Amino acid sequence: MAQTILPFGPQHPVLPEPIHLKLTVEDEIVVDALPALGYVHRGLEKLCDIRDYNQMVQIVERVCGICSKIHAMCYCQGIEEMMGVEVPDRAKFLRVIWSELHRVHSHLLWLGLFADAFGFEALFYQFWKIREKVMDINEATTGNRVIVSVNQVGGVRRDLSAEQLRWIDAELKVVEAQVRALRATTLDDYTVKKRTKGIGVLSSAQAMELGAAGPTLRGSGVAQDMRQLKYAAFDRLDFQPISYPDGDSWSRCAVRYDETLQSIDLVRQAMARLPEGELSVKVKGKPEGEVVTRVEQPRGELLYYLKGNGTNNLDRCRIRTPTFANIPPLVVMLPGLELADVPVVVLSIDPCISCTER
C-alpha cells in the first residue's frame, strides 16, 4: 500500500489553536504522526528578564487564556514559598474558589469542543450556553471575564461579599442542574459512544511511561491529581481524584464531565468554609533561591520552576504546561486509527497550544 502524507492543521475546523500534525496514512489508516509546533511561540518565560517578579504575575496569566487564574496561583505560590510568605487563610480559600470556577468553565468549553469534534452541534452550543453563566460569575466577581487578575504575590486582590457568595451559589445550582441534564447525551448516547468508545486507547503503563498528565492520565486509570498535594486550601476540602480505567476518548470525556460537577462541589465547600480575615500580606524583600511548585490545571499537572537571584527580576521562570506533557501520548495514540477519528483523539487530550509553546 502506498503511503501518503496528509497535513492536519495548523488550521483545522476542530482545532481552536494552531498545531500541525504530519500524518502518514495508508489508505484511511494512520501509520505515523509527527507533531510540528511553533505557530504561537511567544517567549513569555524570557520576559522575566525585563519585568519584575510582581509584574510577572500578569504575564504568566497570559500563558493560557482558559486557566489564567491557575497559572498565576502557581506562580504566586512559588514566589511565596521562595520568600517564606504565609498567605492568609481567606486568600487561600478564595484562590480555590476562583481556580475551581476556572476548571468548570474550561471543562465546559472542552466538552462543547469535543461534541463539535464528533459533529454534535446541538450539544456543543448547549455546553457553551451553560458555560456563559460561569463566565458571568468570573466577570462579576473579579472584574474581568477571562484573564481575571485576582492573584498577587502574598494573597488575592479582590474579596467576595456575602451577597456575592449567595448569588454564586444560586447560579451554580442552575449550572449543575443543566450539566446533569446532559449526562445521558454526553456519556450514553449511541452516536457519541460509537465515536469515542475504544478510540485512541492509552494504557495506564503507556500513560505513565509517556509522562501523560491530568485527565489524559486519569482517563487511563491512574488516579493522580495534583490537588492531592493539598496546596492552597485543598487540605481543608474533601477531595478524591476521579479516574476511569479504559484509557479511550470516552474515558477522558467522562473524567472531565465528572470533574466539572466535582469542581462545582469544591466551590460550594470552599464557600461554606470561607474564613474571615485578611486578603493579602505585605511582601518585603526580593526572591532568592530555587523552587518547584505544582498545581492541577484543567488539563493536568502544571509545573513552575522559579529561580531568583536576590534582585527584582527572576533568573529563570520555567513553565511546564500539561499539554506539553500530553503531546507524546498523542503521537503514540494516533497510529492505527482511521483518519476520521483523528480529530476526536486530538481533541480528547484537550490541546492548549498557546500553553504548550508559551
Partner 1 sequence: MPIPTKQVTKETLVAEVLQLKNAGWRIVTATCVDLNENEFDLIYHFDKDLQMEHLRLTVPKGAPVPSISGVYLAAFLVENEIQDQFGLCFDGLALNFANHLYLDDEVATTPFCKFGVVRKTAAAE
Partner 2 sequence: MRLGPMVPTVVKNLISKKSTRPYPFVVREPFPDQRGELYCDIEQCIFCGTCARKCPSQCITVDKEQGLWICDPFACVYCGTCEEVCPTHCLHHKGAWRPVAGERQMIEMKGTPPKKKKKDAAKDAAAE
Contact residues: partner 2, CB under 8 A: 51, 54-59, 62, 120, 122-123, 126, 129, 132, 136, 139-140, 143-144, 147, 149, 157-158, 181-182, 184-185, 188-191
Closest distance of CB 316 from partner 1, Å: 5
Residue 120 or 304 with smaller CB distance to partner 1: 304
- Whichever of 32 and 189 has its CB closer to partner 1, that residue is 32
Q: What is the largest CA-CA distance in the chain?
A: 69
The entry of partner 1, partner 2, none that residue 189 binds, CB within 5 to 8 Å by partner kind: partner 2
Distance CA 216, CA 352 (A): 13
Cβ proximity to partner 2, 139 vs 209, nearer residue: 139
Between 301 and 350, CB nearer to partner 1: 301
Cross-strand pairs, 292: 305
What residue 299 binds from partner 2, partner 1, none (CB within 5 to 8 A, per partner kind)?
A: none
Three-class HEC string of 218-276: HCCCCCCCHHHHCCCCHHHCCCCCCCCCCCCHHHHHHHHHHHHHHHHHHHHHHHHCCCC
Our finding on whether 144 is near partner 1 (CB under 8 A) is no
Sole window of 5-13, 96-104, 191-199, 223-231 interacting with partner 1 (rule: CB under 8 A): 223-231
Cβ neighbourhood burial of 302 (10 Å; 0-12, 13-18, 19+): buried
How far is residue 326's CA from residue 331's CA, in Å, rounded to a whole number? Answer: 9
Q: Is 241 in the site for partner 1 (CB under 8 A)?
A: no
Using CB under 8 A, pick the residue from 5, 140, 184, 292 that binds partner 1: 292
Please name which of 54, 182, 43 lies closest in space to residue 112, comparing C-alpha atoms.
182
Residue 25 phi, psi (nearest 5): -120, 145
By C-beta, is 261 or 291 nearer to partner 1?
291
